[in-house]
Amino acid sequence: MRAFTIERYGDKGGGHHTETPDPRVGADDVLVRIHAAGVNPLDHKISDGEFKAILPYRLPLILGNDLAGVVIEVGSAVTRFAVGDEVYARPGKDRIGTFAELIAVHQDDIALKPATLTMAEAASLPLVALTAWQALVERAQVRPGQKVLIHAGSGGVGTIAIQLAKHLGAYVATTASTAKTSVVKDLGADEVVDYTKQTFESVLDGYDVVLDTLGGETLEKSLRVLKPGGKVISVAGPPDAAFARELGANAFLRLAMSALSFRTRRHAARRGVTYSFLFMKADGDQLRALTPLIDAGTIRPVVDRVFPFDQTREALEYVEKGSARAGKVVVTMTGEALA
């Protein structure tokens, strides 16, 4: 099969298309012919080797963390899917590789594709929708009437998180540039802070939850807008010991991760709030919970641009440069457009 692979970490522009063996299909696996794959900042982080200490992939590596496609084979123990099913998924962290014609995915990590979406639209959703769900529903347990701040509302995670938080009954604030203010308002944001004109920490206060997608100084300032007992959940901040435990890391790595986040956790504790790091996990059941919201139009995908599979490298560069106006970038194996 054709696939887009990297040969070594940190090789800018080094990815290329090549022929690789077809995936092996285990008893619990579903073999999917991929029609479209989402492009995420995570792909760059993996390619640059940022996670090699905790996710030691074997090189050469097929990149890609989102997919939509059609089932062409099922393992002997598969009970949920049949050949011909249209599906979407974020494969497990140890089995990425959606920039390819085929992929074998564990049946627990996959779900039937929302009927109302094209393959390109569906491929844009799994990673960002699961991130939003795991942050707002699973970890923060957002309730009606709470105040939620979502950073970078026009980004892949932000566009979905705004819609999900509104569905949960929250008052939603977000940050965006002037050019993207109308986009996030259309998604349901109640308050938009134009970061080119004012600082969010000077105008927002008393928030229950912050979903941080930027890290660094933004994360530190986010602690100031939370009320006592509030939570900041970050997908871009320093990892913590809880994340290390989830990975099954050894004691040394758990200690190292705890040290990385010590300063942030200490500042949070002094303010009577909590900090946690989120590295989203594959979860077919959560995708199935999201699908009715998508088919009902409560959550709609936001796709900025679609590239053909032959231009995967260009799609990755487009995302890395921050060129997208809003939402996700997708590559398609079949030439399918959005409509």
| Total Cβ atoms within 10 A of residue 228 | 8
Q: Do 176 and 198 share a domain, yes or no?
A: yes
Q: Is residue 285 part of a domain?
A: no
Q: Is residue 288 part of a domain?
A: no
Q: Do 133 and 235 share a domain, yes or no?
A: yes
Q: Do 78 and 158 share a domain, yes or no?
A: no
Q: What is the pLDDT of residues 91-102, one digit of tens each?
A: 999 999 999 999
- pLDDT at 290 > cutoff 90: yes
Q: What is the mean pLDDT of the chain?
A: 94
Element (H, E) at 286: helix 284-295
Q: Is residue 295 part of a domain?
A: no
Q: What is the pLDDT of residues 302-323, one digit of tens each?
A: 999 999 999 999 999 999 998 8
Q: Do 145 and 216 share a domain, yes or no?
A: yes
Q: Is residue 290 part of a domain?
A: no
- pLDDT at 13 > cutoff 80: no
Q: Do 262 and 215 share a domain, yes or no?
A: yes
Q: Do 63 and 144 share a domain, yes or no?
A: no
Total number of domains in the chain: 2
Q: pTM for the complete prediction?
A: 0.95
Q: Is residue 29 part of a domain?
A: yes
Nearest to 16 by CA among 28, 27, 3, 29: 3
The CATH number covering residue 266 comes to 3.40.50.720
Q: Do 148 and 263 share a domain, yes or no?
A: yes
Q: 3-class DSSP state for residue 217?
A: helix
Determine the structural domain holding residue 325 and report its residue range: 2-125+301-332
Q: Do 322 and 245 share a domain, yes or no?
A: no
Contact 211, 225 (CB under 8 A): no
- pLDDT at 339 > cutoff 50: no
Q: Do 312 and 187 share a domain, yes or no?
A: no
Element (H, E) at 308: strand 303-308
Q: Do 247 and 269 share a domain, yes or no?
A: yes
The CATH number covering residue 88 comes to 3.90.180.10
Q: Is residue 287 part of a domain?
A: no
- What percentage of the chain has pLDDT greater than the value 90? 85
